[in-house]
Amino acid sequence: MPKPDRLIGIPSPIVVGLQRTEIRGDPADFAESFERHRAIAFSDMIDTAFFNQLLKLCSRAQFVADTATDIAQRQRETPGIAGDALALALKRPDLLRWLERATGCESLRSTFGRVTQIAPGAVHRLGWHDDLPEDPTRRLAITINLSENAYEGGLFELRFKKTRQLLARHRHEVPGSVLIFDVSDELEHRVWPITAGGPRRMFTGWFLAGAR
């Protein structure tokens, strides 16, 4: 089965700042691509000043192992100041409404997320899985590249569970790059191991559904 081309991050139609979100593009322009790949990738989405603040917060934070709940044996930010700030900024109603129209996901109401990192090593891997067992209200996932050092590996892949047809492949290669992908019981995804450099530091979050 042929592999899909990697999703290339394009300039974001959304700019998320510390205090406000600016919408610059029509979500209808992205609906067809999302339907085909069940994912979209942006080269940037976080305002530069806000992004630099997040990097500073991460540099001051400790990262501790969370092996009891994390199948990838990643380390998580503690205290989760950067992760909480991003999750709060991403749940603004104008962004949620844009995502509903671009992805077809309805009734997005909130977000949850954390900053994690993975260093090189065979033990640090994230095999095929979906994100629903932890929280069945998850509808979209988002990863934002907060890595300060280049790394090798870390390819993301998304596929149908039954047919194993690959839908999307993406690798975060520039600071601030963003990937948003569908969370469904018919889909699963994985991330290839980090082989050198890094650590690969990401905000990993979800857009949650519920009655408004």
List the domains of the chain with CATH numbers: 23-209 (2.60.120.620)
Quick check: 63 and 117 in contact, CB under 8 A?
yes
CA 155 from chain centre, in angstroms, equals 13
Distance CA 157, CA 4 (A): 10
- The three-class DSSP label of residue 212 is coil
- The three-class DSSP label of residue 77 is strand
Q: What is the value of pTM for the model shown?
A: 0.94
Region of residue 154 (left: phi > 0; alpha: psi -120 to 50; beta: else):
left
Q: What is the pLDDT of residue 120?
A: 87
Question: What is the mean pLDDT for each group of 10 consecutive residues in the chain (212 residues)?
Answer: 81 96 97 97 96 96 75 82 97 97 96 93 73 94 96 95 96 96 96 91 95 52
Q: What is the pLDDT of residue 212?
A: 46
Comparing C-alpha atoms, which of 144, 147, 170 is closest to residue 83?
Answer: 144
